[in-house]
Structures are given as structure tokens and as C-alpha cells.
Structure 1
């Protein structure tokens, strides 16, 4: 598990604390209504307490099942996202190798794919804007694109479904 997914799992566990408190209060209410129903004489008030207690208990059970399903779905989506991240990384390395990018060009291309401006890339790499412009120009030439949006679209196109599937 990556540190990012571990942190998101801890955050999700912290989010469960208020839910657990609400369930605990509901459970106390169930016990109260059922105890009250048993203690009272048979009649409408006792039946009403019994029905309210059973309804609260059913609500707790259905709520707990829904939370469990939502957590399982969130975990599954987290795994799919991790796979997609890995696929994108592999795709980028493959394309960079096909284009025969130098280490510096690959670094600049990665920052460009992340949406960074030339000034931001230059600052992060400790180089001049002219050097970054030159490296980006080489990247665009090797990738046969005219700019950053087209470079990004190359990777998005590879990750998206085929157009025929979208028409279905």
C-alpha cells in the first residue's frame, strides 16, 4: 500500500468516528425503547415503543450494511486508481523511450504533462526559461505535436476507451 493510500485510509477511518457515535446513540435508543416496551403494560404505548425500537434496530442494521458496501466500493476504486496511475507511468516511460528523449527532456516533458508553465519548470529544475523552451521544443518535435495540449492528449487518448466503445 502506498503512503498516499495509507493516509487516505486513515482519513476515512477518522471519518467513521462520527458515524460510529451516531450508531451508538441509536443503539442506546433501541435498548431504551425495547426496555420501555417490556416494562409497560400491554397496550398501544408498549406496542409503539416496541415498533420504534425494532425500526431503529433495522435502521442501524441497514445503515451499517450500506457503510460496509460504500467502504468496499471506495477500496475497490482506490485500487483501480492505483492501477491507472501505474499504467500512465508505464505509458509515459514507453513513449519517452520511443521518442528517444534525453533525461532532461523527459523531466521537462513530465512537468509539462503535469500542467506546469515554462517558468515553473525552469524554477523547479534550476535552469533558464530558454533552456526549458528548447527542451520542450525538442520534446514536441520528437512526439510530433505542436504544443503542451497536444502532448497531453496523446496520453489521454491512450488511456480512454476506443471511440467505437463510446458510441455504444
Structure 2
């Protein structure tokens, strides 16, 4: 499993918070276990000790259950991360297959990918070190080869693929 040390997303912050809570509760449980043992040696079993034993057992159970939940959460996060990476790879293959089918040149492929990433013509020109007019001309050729009128329709081709129902198995 891969665990990130960054707390950049809410799931990672939640996991870190849960881990910190587990540590605090485990320290509290250890304190109460020591207190119960000391009270048993000194006073014997009574209602106060029985209540402390019950409370300590409940606290220990909570620590164990939280540890199980944290482990499950980390597994789910890892599974989701793998799924997202797989989806990115599949999307890249899908884009490449469309670009190949349209017969885009390598330069047009670069521009097309940057368009799909949301860059405007000026930003694409800056990234590629070419004139804005060159990017406009390449964009127009991409749209013509794809059979669309502009960026919005180009995006819609890929959105339709993402939202399409997968074929059902007989």
C-alpha cells in the first residue's frame, strides 16, 4: 500500500486525525488500566472499581474499533487511488485512439491535449514556444479533423465517452 505523508486532501486529513485520536485514547486507556490496577491492590473490588473497569474496557474496545476503522479507511483510500490512476491511464489511451483516428500530427496532438487540459491559445503558444496564430491554425485543423466546431464540442466528445454506460455482459 502507498501512504502519502502530505495532508493535502480531506481523506488524508481524516485518516491523520483518526490516528491521532487513537493515540490519545490509547494513552488514556493505559492510564485508566494503571489506575484500576492500583485501586484493586489498595481497595479491592467495589462499585467504584467495577465502574472504572467497565469504563476502561469500553475505552479499550473503542481504541481497537478505531484502529480497525483506520486500517479499513487506508485500504479504501489506496483502492480509490489505484482506481483513479487506472482511469487516468484509460483516458490517455482513449484520447490517443481518437487522435490517431483523426490523423492528428504530433504537433496537433500536443495542442489537442493542451486544449483538453483547459489551456487557452495564448497559454498553449507560451508552453510550446510558438506564435498564437500557429496554435489557432492547429486548433482549427484539429476541430476540422474531429468534425466539431470548437473547444466545447471537442470536450463533449470525450465527456460522452466518460459518461457512456459500459457494455453489459450477457
Is this a same-fold pair by TM over 0.5? yes
Runs of 4+ in 1 over 3 A off after TM superposition: 14-22
Q: Is the 8 A contact 2:146 2:154 kept in 1?
A: yes
CA distance in 2, matches of 1:114, 1:20: 36
Structure 2 partner of 1:38: 37
Alignment of 1:81-160 (within 5 A): 81-160=84-163
Question: Whose helix proportion is higher, 1 or 2?
Answer: 1
Contact 1:118 1:129 in 2 (8 A): yes
Unpaired runs of 5+ in structure 2? none
TM-score under structure 2 length normalisation: 0.83
Q: Partners of 2:37 and 2:96 in 1: how far apart? A: 70
Residues in 1 aligned to 2:68 and 2:164: alpha-carbon distance in whole angstroms: 33
> How far does residue 34 in structure 1 lie from its aligned partner after superposition?
2.3
- In the alignment, the residues of structure 2 paired with residue 19 and residue 63 of structure 1 have an alpha-carbon distance, to the nearest angstrom, of 7
Q: 2:28 is matched with which residue?
A: 29
Aligned: 1:58 with 2:61:
yes
What RMSD over aligned residues (CA atoms) do the two structures have, in Å? Answer: 2.4
* SS of residue in 2 equivalent to 1:11: coil
Contact 1:37–1:47, Cα closer than 8 Å, also in 2: no
In the other structure, the counterpart of 1:71 is 74
Tell which has more relative contact order, 1 or 2 (C-alpha 8 A, sep 6+).
Answer: 2
What number of residue pairs does the alignment pair up?
159
Give the TM-score normalised by structure 1: 0.84
Q: CA deviation at 1:121?
A: 0.5
Question: Bigger CA drift: 100-109 or 154-163?
Answer: 154-163
